[in-house]
Amino acid sequence: MNDSSCVLTSAELDTFAGAIFDLGQSNTDRSPREIVARALFDLTHAERLASYRWDAKTGKYHKPLLINLNPQHSQHYIDVLQHDDPITPMMRNQRTATRIQDVVPLQDFERLAFYNEFLRPDEMYHGVNVFLRTGSDVLCDFRLFRGPKSPAFSRRDLLMIDSMSRYLVKTMELEQSNEGALDILTARERELAKLVARGCTDADIQRILGISFSTVRTHMARCFEKLGCANRSELAAFISHRHRH
């Protein structure tokens, strides 16, 4: 964000930097998407937030992440409304964070059944959508809203959303790369690697998998070699990072 009007306050800088730091950690209970969702919610002073992963195979949004919204809201969207949503397809064509009012004039937006029946009851009026992509593939989205009595999102808000989103895309691309890397392990090696990530000792693994100690060590060495890990700690970190969603 190089616009002088978009200089962060000290508190905002702490929030932004803290989220970037957390994205690089493999030992956090929060997923990268959760980390960024909370940061965006706080930085933009949004009042509601919904985020979905995109499943290219089924052509559907799923795995909702919500802030200040009832889970029934997203379940109704997933089960019933996502194919009757006139707004999201238009917003998805945008390559950066975009205000709904810049794509659908407010007077038209207010007449939509989708707004009156779905968004309005939760006071979701001023909205911003951003779709995170790697290449042409959509990874996930963030949909931030404020109520009708609050101000519309500003250009400054859009720039913060885009800046933070770029870090999440890099993290998710790394996770996808890690996921592909696991394909080089055999089924038994993957089982062993996941047990290592859970903190199991060699004796635990021997008992759980019903294999000899020497076989445990052989599988472990092959995991190290294939994944480029120097020791158990690196293997555990690799697997833990890959399984954050």
- The CA distance from 41 to 34, in Å, is 11
Distance CA(59)–CA(88), nearest Å, equals 13
Tell me the backbone φ, ψ of residue 122, rounded to 5 degrees. Answer: -100, 15
Contact 129, 107 (CB under 8 A): no
Residue, of 145 and 227, whose pLDDT is higher: 145
Q: Are 131 and 87 in contact (CB under 8 A)?
A: no
Residue 12 has pLDDT above 70, yes or no: yes
- Cα-Cα-Cα-Cα torsion 211, 213, 217, 220, nearest 10 degrees, comes to 40
Average pLDDT over every residue of 216-221: 94
Q: What is the pTM of this model?
A: 0.73
Q: What is the mean pLDDT of residues 55-71?
A: 93
For residue 239, the model assigns a pLDDT of 80
Question: By mean pLDDT, which of 21-35, 93-107, 145-159, 186-200 is the weakest?
Answer: 21-35
Residue 120 pLDDT > 60:
yes
Pairwise pLDDT comparison (238 vs 143), residue with the higher score: 143
Pull the structure tokens for residue 220: 């472990």
The pLDDT-based confidence of 236 (bands split at 50, 70, 90) is confident
pLDDT attached to residue 4: 46
Pairing mode, strands 48-55 and 98-99: unpaired
Tokens 């238009």 correspond to: 90
206 pLDDT exceeds 90? yes
The mean pLDDT value for 80-92 works out to 94
pLDDT the model gives residue 245: 46
Tell me the pLDDT tens digit for each residue of 36-59.
999 999 999 999 999 999 998 899
Q: What is the mean pLDDT of residues 105-127?
A: 96
Q: What is the spatial distance between Cα 82 and Cα 6, in angstroms, rounded to a whole number?
A: 34
* Lowest model confidence (mean pLDDT) among 33-37, 121-125, 166-170: 166-170
Mean per-residue pLDDT over the chain, rounded: 89
Domains contained in the chain, CATH given: 4-180 (3.30.450.80), 185-242 (1.10.10.10)
Task: Quote the radius of gyration of the chain (alpha carbons, Å).
Answer: 22
